[in-house]
Amino acid sequence: MNKSVFLGALTVAGLAAGAAAAGTLDDVKARGKLNCGVVTGLVGFGAPDANGEWQGFDVAVCRAVAAAVLGDPTAVEFVPTTAKTRFTALASGEIDMLARNTTWTFSRDVDLKFEFVGINYYDGQGFMVPKELGVSSAKELDGATICIQTGTTTELNLADFFRKNNISYEPVPIETNAEAQPLYLEGACDVYTTDASGLAATRAAFENPGDHVVLPEIISKEPLGPLVRHGDNDWGDVVRWTLNALIAAEEYGVTSANLEEMSAGTDNPEINRLLGSEGTLGEMLGLSADWAKQAIAAGGNYGELFEKTIGENTPVGLARGLNAQWTDGGLLYAPPFR
């Protein structure tokens, strides 16, 4: 028992070191680098490319924050986390923020003491099956063997869905997406379930994506977004408004192509305040006046990032759907910059 108390204390000593240091923004500036938690590898959302550079939709959020705070989108130390290790990494201060398709839930926000700063992708849990099984609905999956990524909300949704429909299944818990792929492809499980976006990304990496279908049922709400530690509101604001800046930029038509021109000043005061030619929004955040401009310059506005990483012209091939601007019938709605 002596040993366990000792190790437990060590764990918490690390945890406390992070919690005690409240000024994450100052830490990041002093360090000159942003420590950002990402997935271990999910095509389109966060994965190293052939040159070892991290690319993807979630990765872009990290880069935007680094650009806003430090003026350099490459000043990011990417820390790959699994579904299991991500919260400990954030709570212990190992990472400054987590941008790793993480579902915003009540207990994570309230009980685990995290702060979800917004939603960068509206998702839901779906099922993927091989076409040859001839399954057209999730309700036909009675008795199926299902691969699930463990440590996620998906295993709870799955249990609820099958209980509600009074059908049985055999869960096969898998640690990471990469381990699940061969099991699914070899037929050790009939079905692979995770967020629909994750399924699309996984399918894109298959040799023959056409042999697999994603079933129409979406069995849960999975609002995915970046999160920070609870209690450090200044830092939370920085990440929240960087994300909002990316979304607002798309709404106002600010793109990486016309960014320079727009930042010189426009007729629209909202754009001027966003890009720093009017007002003192950057100062209020404790950043430079052109913070939002830097964030947008890192990879483009929300729409550009989407099209570049997971949009319809990429192998992942996701439609905007719920993730369109509110003006286009989607759910993206950035609060006003004023």
Partner 1 sequence: MSTLSDPPAESFRLSQLINDKRYRSITFQFIALLGLIVVMAYLGWNLVQNLAAAGLNLSYGFLGEPAGYDINQTLIEYTSQSSHLRAAVVGVLNTLLVAVVGCFLATVIGVVVGVLRLSKNWLVRKLMAVYVEIFRNVPVLIWILIIMAVFVAVLPQPRDFRGDNPEASMLWEAFAFTGRGFYSPRPFFTAEWAAGGTGWLIVIALLVAGFFGARALANWATKTQEATGVRPTTWYYTLAIWFGPLIIALIAMGLSWEMPELKGFNFRGGIFMRNSLIALTFALAIYTAAFIAENVRAGILAVSKGQTEAAASLGLRPNRIMNLVVLPQALRVIIPPLISQYLNLTKNSSLAIAVGYMDLTGTLGGITLNQTGRAIECVLLLMLFYLTISLGISAIMNVYNNAVKLKER
Residues that bind partner 1 (CB under 8 A): 1-13, 15-16, 19-20, 83-84, 87-88, 91, 107-108, 111-113, 132-133, 141-145, 150-152, 155-156, 158-160, 162-163, 169-175, 182-183, 186-188, 190, 230-231
Tokens of 143: 């008795």
Helix (H, G, I), strand (E, B) or coil at 199: helix
Instruction: Compute the least distance from the CB of residue 145 to partner 1, in Å.
Output: 6
Q: Are strands 169-174 and 144-149 parallel, antiparallel or unpaired?
A: parallel
Instruction: Compute the least distance from the CB of residue 186 to partner 1, in Å.
Output: 5
Name residues whose C-beta falls within 8 Å of residue 85's C-beta, 6 or more positions apart in sequence. Answer: none
CB–CB of 159/148 below 8 Å? no
Instruction: Compute the least distance from the CB of residue 139 to partner 1, in Å.
Output: 13
Amino acid at residue number 94: E
DSSP-H helix ranges across 125-191: 154-164, 177-186
Rounded-to-integer distance, Cα 191 and Cα 133, Å: 10
Instruction: Compute the least distance from the CB of residue 125 to partner 1, in Å.
Output: 14
Instruction: Compute the least distance from the CB of residue 62 to partner 1, in Å.
Output: 23
CB–CB of 149/220 below 8 Å? no
CB–CB of 176/47 below 8 Å? no
Comparison of 79 and 158: residue with beta carbon closer to partner 1: 158
Instruction: Compute the least distance from the CB of residue 274 to partner 1, in Å.
Output: 35
Comparison of 216 and 231: residue with beta carbon closer to partner 1: 231
Instruction: Compute the least distance from the CB of residue 2 to partner 1, in Å.
Output: 6
229: nearest Cα among 62, 22, 47, 45:
22
Comparison of 8 and 216: residue with beta carbon closer to partner 1: 8
Comparison of 223 and 299: residue with beta carbon closer to partner 1: 223
Instruction: Compute the least distance from the CB of residue 132 to partner 1, in Å.
Output: 8
Comparison of 83 and 298: residue with beta carbon closer to partner 1: 83
Radius of gyration of the chain (CA): 21
Rounded-to-integer distance, Cα 170 and Cα 176, Å: 18
DSSP-H helix ranges across 38-127: 57-70, 86-91, 106-110
Comparison of 165 and 258: residue with beta carbon closer to partner 1: 165
Comparison of 150 and 268: residue with beta carbon closer to partner 1: 150
For 287, half-sphere exposure in the C-beta direction (CA atoms, 13 angstrom radius) is 29
Local structure of residue 47 (DSSP, 8 states): E
| Edge-to-edge strand list for the sheet holding 76-80 | 76-80, 34-38, 97-98, 227-229, 114-116
CB–CB of 228/90 below 8 Å? yes
Comparison of 151 and 279: residue with beta carbon closer to partner 1: 151
